[in-house]
């Protein structure tokens, strides 16, 4: 009896069976679309090696985890910063160092969250002021050739932005 066409959902009216099949088809379609979009956004660069621009200006980011502002697939106007110098200017970070607050304490976590938020806000302000699309740690972005402009260091600007906050 189960092999016959009407025996799939015997107790359900036909409209409920149709709705269930549509839900399943839509769910499968959405999951396939999400998987494709995820591969296109994130996975396709993994097999290519370091992220490079495509004919705009030849910059390469060898350490994507050290990018503080911007997105990597296209790097047009990068800048660099030394985060240790900027962190030293943040009062909460000085408190962590002076008082010897351990990394395993809740107070450390809260203070470091504040430090990180201040640093990233200052970096974003500098990026908007100087029209940079990517700001990363010094050495994370390299020029692709001698005809490509140097990556400017904006550490002093970030420190000045932190002093204004």
pLDDT digits (tens, 9 = 90+) for 34-82: 555 454 444 444 444 555 544 455 788 888 889 999 987 778 899 999 9
Using DSSP, state whether 28 is helix, strand or coil: helix
Least confident span in 21-35, 83-97, 127-141:
21-35
Least confident span in 7-21, 85-99, 110-124:
7-21
pLDDT for res 70: 92
Among candidate residues 154, 118, 160, the one with its CA nearest the CA of residue 138 = 154
Contact 17, 8 (CB under 8 A): yes
Residue 59: count other Cβ atoms within 10 Å of its Cβ: 22
pLDDT for res 45: 44
pLDDT for res 58: 75
pLDDT for res 18: 53
pLDDT for res 39: 45
Task: Report the relative pairing of strands 78-81 and 134-137 from DSSP bridges.
Answer: parallel
pLDDT for res 23: 57
Among candidate residues 58, 40, 13, 18, the one with its CA nearest the CA of residue 150 = 58
The pTM (predicted TM-score) of the whole model is 0.64
Using one digit for the tens of pLDDT, what is the confidence trace for 90-107? 999 999 999 999 999 999
């Amino acid at each position: 009896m189960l092999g016959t066409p009407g025996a799939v959902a015997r107790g359900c009216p036909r409209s409920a069976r149709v709705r269930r099949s549509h839900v399943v088809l839509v769910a499968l379609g959405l999951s396939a679309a999400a998987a494709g979009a995820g591969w296109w956004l994130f996975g396709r660069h993994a097999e290519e090696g370091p992220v490079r621009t495509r004919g705009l200006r030849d910059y390469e980011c060898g350490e994507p985890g050290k990018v503080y502002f911007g997105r990597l697939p296209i790097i047009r106007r990068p800048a660099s910063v030394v985060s240790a110098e900027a962190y030293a200017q943040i009062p909460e970070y000085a408190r962590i160092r002076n008082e010897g607050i351990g990394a395993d304490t809740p107070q450390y976590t809260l203070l470091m969250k504040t430090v990180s938020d201040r640093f990233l806000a200052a970096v974003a302000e500098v990026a908007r002021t100087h029209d940079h699309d990517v700001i990363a740690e010094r050495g994370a972005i390299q020029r692709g050739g001698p005809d490509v402009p140097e990556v400017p260091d904006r550490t002093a600007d970030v420190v000045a932005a932190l002093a204004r906050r």
